[in-house]
């Protein structure tokens, strides 16, 4: 359903042009890697395309908001009443089906296995097996534009698939690990189905079913949204390059600013962009939207955080919610932590993060997934069982404690900390 929502826009465009057989993916890749050329040749079309993306994004965000963790705390509290319980924990460990990104991985792993046994190239195997050729074509058409979050890289196309298959076959250990993880996930889903089928009359099972599946739905929506917004960012950065703006200045523009720059070449004064970079805050209320920049933004944010100061100076241990516990035999984890309070410098911080450190973050975002993959465990200040950290940690089989409120304020990078997975607590080890 989620994918169809994001391909509807493309289908409508094709229908307007009277070409119903037009591949729906073509609309999405119409401008891909041709942003600068399109900005020079057809700025009006580009502006209309960006407006379409905004409308699509707003439509999906309205659905995404419905699954925000803070809207589901009552459901989570009800489910917690039945824990610990092996069956309930099994239901909560995964959703009713694979996420979109996991479906892509599953297909690529199966193709790699087929190519490894056959001994020929990917293209030769696909030519010899029409069923596989059709499977890959369906994958590209249905999920091809989703490859900007968990998987990383560009669009899922034939070139990407061939590269991934070659990578897996060349690294036997990685190939075996990924197959084992996928098999575990599929077995968990199967066990989940059996438990629900045999106990569907129980209230706790129905609640756990909903609570366990919501993260999958949320991640699918999130993945689609970020993939579409990536197109917008590509155009914005290309427009910034055309008009001599830095990435920081581009990220300080409002949507209407970008549209006017793309279509009319109208630019926001540099001094205003500089003020926005000092600090920017938008507060949404029933009465409308209020914007604050520079010192005014810092004052408002400071007033929001004032109540935490005393708590920050007296707290020695934090507690939260256990979001992922892949190996129940391991009840505690110790190690050096890496504190990350912003996702904007994730690329720079990648070089500072050491494999096996415990990631402590305010919250997680798709651009820090590479760090999450290397982490021994994950801790966040914010979030509930459907937040990004909870969902991704389950996908990556990483222990995760969320909603600690103060972890990034209490701990510092290189502190030795201990996670108690049974009680969902974290403390500093002297």
Distance of CA 55 to the CA centre of its chain: 20
Over its C-alpha atoms, the chain yields an Rg (Å, rounded) of: 23
pLDDT, position 151: 42
Going by C-beta distance under 8 Å and a sequence separation of 6 or more, which residues neighbour residue 282? 289, 290, 291, 292
3-state secondary structure of 281: strand
The rounded distance, in Å, linking the Cα atoms of 370 and 397 is: 14
Distance of CA 101 to the CA centre of its chain: 10
CATH 3.50.30.10 in the chain, residue ranges: 316-428
pTM of the model: 0.70
Percent helix / strand / coil, the chain, rounded to 5: 60, 10, 30
pLDDT, position 183: 94
**Is 338 in contact with 358 (CB distance < 8 Å)?**
yes
pLDDT, position 144: 74
The rounded distance, in Å, linking the Cα atoms of 4 and 37 is: 29
CB-based burial, 209-232: b 16+ in 10 Å, e otherwise: bebbbbbbbbbbbbbbbbbbbbbb
The rounded distance, in Å, linking the Cα atoms of 336 and 381 is: 18
pLDDT, position 307: 63
The rounded distance, in Å, linking the Cα atoms of 267 and 257 is: 7
Residues comprising the chain, all counted: 430
3-state secondary structure of 285: strand
- Residue listed under structure tokens 């534009």: 145
- Residue listed under structure tokens 């502006």: 47
pLDDT, position 141: 79
Picking from 186, 99, 113, 216, the residue whose alpha carbon sits closest to that of residue 151 is: 99
**Is 231 in contact with 28 (CB distance < 8 Å)?**
yes
**Is 394 in contact with 185 (CB distance < 8 Å)?**
no
pLDDT, position 236: 87
Distance of CA 403 to the CA centre of its chain: 18
Distance of CA 169 to the CA centre of its chain: 27
pLDDT, position 225: 79
In this structure, CATH architecture of domain 316-428: 3-Layer(bba) Sandwich (3.50)
**Is 400 in contact with 379 (CB distance < 8 Å)?**
yes
Q: What is the mean pLDDT of each run of 10 residues along the chain (430 residues)?
A: 39 40 46 84 88 82 74 81 88 89 91 93 91 90 64 69 92 91 92 95 93 86 77 85 90 90 92 88 83 86 70 79 88 94 67 92 84 94 82 88 90 94 91
**Is 91 in contact with 205 (CB distance < 8 Å)?**
yes
């Amino acid at each position: 359903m989620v994918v169809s929502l994001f391909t509807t826009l493309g289908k409508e465009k094709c229908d307007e042009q009277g070409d119903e057989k037009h591949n729906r993916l073509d609309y999405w890749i119409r401008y891909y890697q041709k942003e600068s050329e399109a900005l020079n040749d057809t700025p009006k079309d580009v502006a209309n395309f960006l407006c379409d993306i905004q409308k699509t994004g707003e439509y999906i965000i309205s659905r995404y908001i419905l699954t925000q963790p803070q809207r589901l705390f009552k459901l989570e509290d009800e489910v917690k009443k039945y824990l610990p319980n092996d069956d309930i924990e099994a239901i909560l460990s995964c959703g009713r089906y694979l996420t979109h990104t996991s479906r892509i991985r599953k297909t690529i792993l199966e193709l790699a296995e087929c190519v490894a046994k056959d001994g020929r190239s990917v293209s030769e195997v696909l030519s010899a097996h029409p069923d596989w050729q059709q499977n890959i074509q369906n994958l590209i058409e249905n999920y091809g534009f989703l490859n900007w979050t968990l998987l990383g890289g560009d669009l899922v196309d034939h070139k990407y698939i061939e590269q991934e298959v070659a990578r897996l076959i060349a690294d036997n250990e990685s190939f075996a690990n990924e197959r084992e993880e996928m098999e575990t996930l599929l077995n968990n889903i199967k066990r989940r189905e059996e438990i629900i089928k045999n106990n569907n009359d129980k209230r706790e099972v129905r609640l756990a079913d909903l609570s366990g599946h919501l993260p999958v739905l949320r991640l699918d929506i999130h993945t689609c949204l970020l993939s579409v917004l990536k197109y917008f960012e590509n155009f914005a950065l290309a427009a910034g390059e055309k008009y001599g703006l830095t990435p920081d200045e581009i990220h300080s523009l409002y949507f209407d600013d970008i549209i006017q720059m793309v279509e009319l070449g109208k630019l926001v004064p540099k001094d205003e962009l500089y003020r926005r970079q000092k600090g920017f805050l938008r507060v949404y209320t029933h009465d409308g939207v209020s914007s604050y920049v520079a010192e005014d933004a810092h004052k408002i944010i400071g007033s929001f955080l004032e109540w935490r100061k005393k708590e920050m100076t007296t707290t020695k241990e934090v507690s939260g919610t256990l979001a992922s516990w892949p190996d129940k035999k391991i009840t505690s984890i110790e190690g050096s932590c890496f504190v990350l309070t912003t996702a904007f410098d994730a690329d720079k911080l990648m070089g500072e993060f050491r494999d096996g450190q415990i990631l402590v973050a305010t919250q997680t975002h798709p651009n820090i997934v590479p760090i999450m993959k290397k982490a021994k465990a994950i801790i966040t200040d914010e979030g509930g069982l459907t937040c990004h950290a909870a969902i991704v940690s389950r996908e990556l089989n990483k222990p995760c404690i969320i909603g600690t409120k103060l972890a990034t304020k209490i701990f510092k990078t290189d502190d030795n900390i201990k996670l108690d997975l049974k009680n969902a607590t974290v403390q500093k080890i002297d």
